[in-house]
Structure 1
Amino acid sequence: MNDEDIDPAIDSEPGYISRDNALQHAMTGDIAHLRVLGSHLTTRYAAAARGARIHGGDLSYLRRLLATTPGRASVELLLQLLAEQDAACGPMGLELPLMATMLAQHQTAAVLTQTVFADIPENDRLSELRTCLFHELLLRGVDPEEFPTLNPGSRVHPLAWLPDRRRALETEPDFTSHSADGSAGGVKTGLPTHGRLDPPTPRPTEASPLRNSVTVDEHNLIITAAEGNWGYAEAWVFRPDQPITPDHVPALLPSLPMDCVADLGPAGRYEIAARPVGDIWSLLFATASIGGFYGTGRYGAWGRLQAWRSLAGLCGLPFHASAEEVERLAEHSTWFHFQTDAEFFHNDGNDYAIAALAPDGLRLAVLAATDTD
């Protein structure tokens, strides 16, 4: 088969079908011609798709190469290429959150504020890049007051919910290491040696009368940090009639009706530690930003938002609560980090559970996440 076979129905140069001509063949019952036309177009489509994948991969490598090459010239060229590619194909495939985290890792704040945040055009095609980069730099300790052009972007962007300064509880964020050829990183889910509160074994096997009362909204908010990035996550909320004291939590958790402590028995592995809220935020941030076996994560900016959302859910605040409200309540809650050998956790990847006790002791929330489905 060659182009001459179907010249009346297809323009050989752009490769577009002549629909009027195809319609005429259909109306005269010339199905054989349409079969040849369909086969020819399918071949051209497959070749174009292969070419698009190859070019897309090459462009992705070039963007990564420019983002990781220090200096103003490479950043300016990257911005030019991103704007051109957005104008040609739209924002799909431009990896703007990834570009932001790579720029924050490999370029100085001075260079970025003189390029990315300077001379922003009125019809800004790279607003997502600038918004993400603002939060990436915050998390890396950049003070916006030292760089007047640095700004968080649109007030209607979802990331605008976040504080425009790094907060005290945002301690030691872990980031994936990026290069032009790939990325590497992992979430540190192990318990620390300090603050351990492991109860003695054998433990009592009597089940607690408390029952899970988590709502759909609470559940979805609590697991935000792990959603889409990890194998599986689950959440529970318990509301006792009488206040629970922090010293009762380590012994209480294994007795609650939760999959993450089921089938433990009196001597199964159950390890728990009290942790400051900053450690909990760091664990949630790493879960969201780095991701796990099933996803690359959301990188720094969106990972920051997801960590704060999970923190809000664990504290019992609604989705519309402000970051200031979340911070205030989180700092007054009591936090625990625990691990078990229950079947919920496969214990061949990253697994952990978090418990948050409200200041009044009348709400206990738990998030359990496993990196294996």
Structure 2
Amino acid sequence: MTEDIQKIVAELPGLTDVSGVKPIVDERVARGEAAFAADLGIALSAAGKAAGPSVWQYEAVLGYLLRLLATTPGPGNAAQALRLVASAFDSSGKGARYPASLLATGHAAEDLVPAFTGAASDELRSCLLQELVLRGVPVAQNPAIATWAAAPERLGHPLSWLPLTLSGIESEAALPSHGVGSSGWAMPYGPSSHRSVAMARDTIATGAVDTTSPAQAAAMAAAVETWTDESNGRVEARVFDLTEPLDAGSIPGALLTLGLECLAGVEESSGLSGAMRTPAEAWWVLFAAASTGGAYGYGAFGAYGRLATWRSMAALVGSPEDATPAEIEARALDCVWYGFDVDTEWFEQVAWDFGLAALSPNRRRLTVLAATDTD
């Protein structure tokens, strides 16, 4: 440990503002001394473990160092970011998701090869692999990455079910933008400013039977699991078998006759706001909800967000449990998709509101997923 690092570690607990440390490490990294930032982070991690959680200054600076190295392009920065993650962060479980998102945003795949050949947890590698796939990186063309991905021991990992190329409906995935000081996420949902009225008198001739099982509801809601687990969210997931085929234009009226909790009281409100959606638009909404989370928390990030999105879509379109993403996509393309939100007491009407309905290819099954959250 150099004298500079010893001095920073010793003085940090007495500071009420740690921003003065940032220009020091910024300058060193800009000069090509990424190892200094990693060494400092490793020292801070060790000091923090010894001192306990009361010394918030260590965690604050450590987090900044990770973002600095992970989002500043360059092979040296990538190598030191990986070294810092391996030494100072618990990346054996959920702790791998955030660093993987940062690294895939800030660095080229060739600079991240050491993650797949050196000292990195398998969980970090698994998440990083999928984060690269989501960014359109042809990982199969990188020998080191492809060799690791094809290893037999990978087959037991949940993320190994996901393909190493993007399907057509997920090619427009809304990915976060990470920088040294902040991150940004797309939110393709929320209360509509323009509402089209579809009142309950637009009834349908066909009957509907609620056949929702707990397993089906949980699978459909996979994309918004963190909205309820980590925040204040509410979710409604329902499956209806229809006695007669339903035409696409009748979906709004059908929704208002199914006894959905999220639409209770719509007759007295400003009406149902909705529009037909493409399967890609439905996937985009589900992925944003899964990867970024609700009002609190950070969601599942890209890798597990992708997994949760496919799980939700599979349940919404009625695919069997052993279906592949390609089979799920093929069925999703044959479904009719409808997106909606409405001004009822169920929806929080803050920023995290959406409703999706999927009408099956034979037009005899209608599934609905609605979610809302607030801070």
Give your verdict on TM over 0.5.
yes
Residue 111, structure 1, aligned to residue 114, structure 2: no
Once the two structures are superposed, what CA deviation does each residue of 1:140-175 show, in whole Å capped at 9, x if it has no partner? 111224423233461211111112211111031112
Task: Find 1:78's aligned residue among 81, 84, 95.
Answer: 81
Which residues of 2 match residues 242-321 of structure 1 at below 5 A? Answer: 242-265=244-267, 268-321=270-323
Percentage identity across paired residues of the two chains: 35
Partners of 1:157 and 1:94 in 2: how far apart? 14
Q: Which residue of 1 aligns with 2:95?
A: 95
Aligned equivalent of 2:219: 221
Counterpart for residue 351 of structure 2: 349
- The alpha-carbon deviation at position 225 of structure 1 amounts to 0.4
- Residues 1:92 and 1:133: Cα distance change in structure 2 (over 3 Å): closer
Structure 2 distance, partners of 1:363, 1:197, is: 26
Take 2:134 and 2:88, find their aligned partners in 1: how far apart are those partners?
28
AA partner of residue 363 (structure 2): G
Q: Secondary structure at the match of 2:276?
A: strand
Aligned to 2:326: 324
Q: Where in structure 2 are the equivalents of 1:14-53 lying within 5 Å?
A: 48-50=51-53, 53=56
Question: What secondary structure does 1:364 align onto?
Answer: strand
- Structure ID, larger Rg: 1
Within a 5 Å distance, the mapping from 1:48-59 to structure 2 comes to 48-50=51-53, 53-59=56-62
Provide closer, same or farther for how the CA distance between residues 372 and 205 of structure 1 changes in structure 2, counting only shifts above 3 A. farther
1:48 corresponds to which letter in structure 2? A
Aligned residue identity for 1:139: L
Secondary structure at the counterpart of residue 321 of structure 1: coil
Native 8 Å contact 1:222 1:235 kept in 2: yes
Q: Deviations over 1:344-363 (max 9, x none)?
A: 11212221100001101121
Contact kept in structure 1, 2:246 and 2:364, CA below 8 Å? yes
Deviation at 1:245, TM superposition (A): 2.1
CA contact (8 A) 1:219 1:236 kept: yes
**Shift of residue 46, structure 1, vs aligned partner:** 12
Alpha-carbon shift at residue 284 of structure 1 (Å):
0.3
Give yes or no for contact 1:79–1:116 (8 Å, CA) kept in 2.
yes
User: How big is the shift at 1:131?
Assistant: 1.3
TM-score, with normalisation over the residues of structure 1? Answer: 0.77
The secondary structure found in structure 1 opposite 2:88 is helix
Count of residues paired in the alignment? 319
Q: Counterpart of 1:189? A: 189
Deviation at 1:110, TM superposition (A): 2.9
Can you give the 5+ residue segments of structure 2 that lack an aligned partner in the other structure? 1-47
Aligned counterpart, 1:37: none
Aligned counterpart, 2:45: none
What's the CA shift for 1:199? Answer: 5.7
CA distance in 2, matches of 1:47, 1:199: 61
Unaligned regions of 5+ residues in structure 1, if any? 1-44
Q: Determine the C-alpha separation between the residues in 1 that align with 2:196 and 2:120.
A: 53
Residues 186 and 292 in structure 1, CA contact (< 8 A), matched pair in contact too: no
1:29 matched residue in structure 2: none
Equivalent position of 2:171 in the other structure? 171
The 10-residue stretch of structure 1 (233-242 or 46-55) with the greater mean CA deviation from structure 2: 46-55
Corresponding position of 1:66 = 69
Using the alignment, how far apart are the partners of 1:243 and 1:65 within structure 2? 56
Q: Is the 8 A contact 1:197 1:250 kept in 2?
A: no
> What are the Cα deviations for residues 118-140 of structure 1, in whole angstroms up to 9, with x where unaligned?
xx24xx54221221111111111
**CA distance, structure 1, for counterparts of residue 278 and residue 320 of structure 2:** 22
Counterpart Cα distance in 1 of 2:156 and 2:273: 43
2:241 paired residue among 239, 242, 258: 239
Once the two structures are superposed, residues 247-295 of structure 1 have per-residue CA deviations (whole angstroms, 9 ceiling, x without a partner) of: 2212211111101111111663211111110010010000011112122
Distance 1:369 1:73 in 2: 43
The alpha carbon displacement at 1:319 in A equals 3.9
CA shift in 2, pair 1:129/1:50, >3 Å? closer
Task: Name the SS of the counterpart of 2:175 in structure 1.
Answer: coil
1:113-152 matches, within 5 Å, as 113=113, 115-117=114-116, 120-121=117-118, 125-151=120-146, 152=149
